[in-house]
Amino acid sequence: MVGVVDTPALAELYRDLHCHPELSFQEHRTAAVVADRLGALGFETTTGVGGTGVVGVLRNGDGPTALLRADMDALPMQEKTGLPYASDVRGVDHLGHAVDVFHACGHDVHVTCLIGAARQLAEDRGAWAGTLITVFQPAEELGRGARAMIDDGLFERFGRPDVVLGQHVAPFPAGFLALRPGPAFAAADGVRVTMFGRGGHGSRPETTVDPVVMAAATVMRLQAVVSREVAGTDTAVVTIGVLRAGTKENIIPDEAELRLSVRTFDPLVRERVLGAIERIVRAEAVASGATRDPEVVLTDGFPAVVNDVAACARTRPAFEALLGPDRVVDPGLVTGSEDVGLLASGSGAPCVFWLLGGADPARFAGATSADDMAAVVADLPSNHSPFYAPVIEPTLRVGVAALVTAAHVWLPSAP
């Protein structure tokens, strides 16, 4: 049975956060809202951790320490949901580009749920003992926020937890949770490729070395990395999210830029994929007669999220008691990535990180099997879609309850 949640107040907070999204390391308004709420609940509250991160600590006698984490940043993209509380915010991203800003990954859900859980736990201190650390993390979308908070002395300043707990909203039915022990979320690497040609007039391509054609050929060849260089029993994803070149249709530019996202679970597969990318980029440059060698730069990266098997076995029964055994599922390997695992490895604590259903349950009314459910999910806007819009209820209610339930597993009441 899901606990009592002040749904109208949380829904109002969620809509406010949704229509005021902020980019990575720019989460100043969000951090101020979080700090104000935590302070009012009696948490020892510290802002500016790792840039714009917020940490709240609630001490409730002797006992273990549990860390609950939510990420705060939004994405540089336009919202097309048509919601009455849709974002029309514009900003400047970390590369200096003017962009639209949208909570297309549900971090506004994460912040709202953790605020709701913090309130419940603060108001019910007789039901648990120990120390609760709430971490509101910046810059997950850059893969740098967790590391920034750690480097800023997160564990030295606020204590080392006995467990790291958290969740991520996803497009499967609200009212369900998905928890996978062991390797759960993929490692992520960002790669920036710059290919160099020789510019000139668009009417005289024979006098140039066209980096647009060079880049286009590279994009197509990179599609074969996973299908032809990764075993069918392994998992990898290579996505080219940016191809940028030129300023005018009749100017052949001097260079083109590609930005890639690579997802893997096995370090050996990661090494092979990154090596293949560099080999292909350099070979296409030679084949095109490039004026100089391309630049291949690893811009960022963080490891796979590995859920502690024993910690998941300890937590899962509480989720099943909360929602029912048929509403707590194993999602399989998730090729999305998260830097929450750094908080666990950095503190030496086990990690329990789960998915929170955020799609309208009515969409699944005719689903009678796992295959039926998967077919519905495939038709829904996913995280990072301009149409992504979790339903407010029961997503928030279940998200708060899941965090509170997990905290109680690790912060049991004093005998």
**Residues noted as catalytic:** 73, 140
- The pair phi, psi for residue 17, each rounded to 5°, is -65, -40
CA atoms of 136 and 145, how far apart (whole Å):
10
Dist. CA 131–CA 59, nearest whole Å: 5
Angle at Cα 184 formed by Cα 180 and Cα 187, nearest 5°?
Answer: 175
Query: DSSP character for 198?
Result: B
Angle between helices 107-123 and 395-410 (to 10 degrees): 50
Virtual CA dihedral for 234, 240, 241, 245, nearest 10 degrees? 170
**Token pair of 202 as six digits:** 């668009």
The helix (run of H) or strand (run of E) holding residue 284 is helix 267-287
Answer for the pair 135, 343: CB distance below 8 angstroms, yes or no. yes
- Looking only at the bridges linking them, the beta strands covering 177-178 and 200-201 are unpaired
- Could you tell me which of 118, 112, 113 has the C-alpha nearest to residue 44? 118
* Residue of 195, 181, 148 whose CA lies nearest to 342: 148
* Displacement of CA 295 from its chain's centroid (Å): 28
CA-based nearest residue to 380, from 168, 170, 237: 170
Dihedral of CA 186/333/21/82: which sign? positive
Residue with tokens 């969740």: 167
Distance CA 363, CA 342 (A): 35
Residues 66 and 351: their CA atoms lie apart, in Å, by 11
Query: How many CA atoms within 13 Å lie on the side-chain side of 288?
Result: 28
CA distances from 215 to 191, 210, 236, 256, 280 (A): 14, 9, 22, 7, 11
Residue 93 one-letter amino acid: D
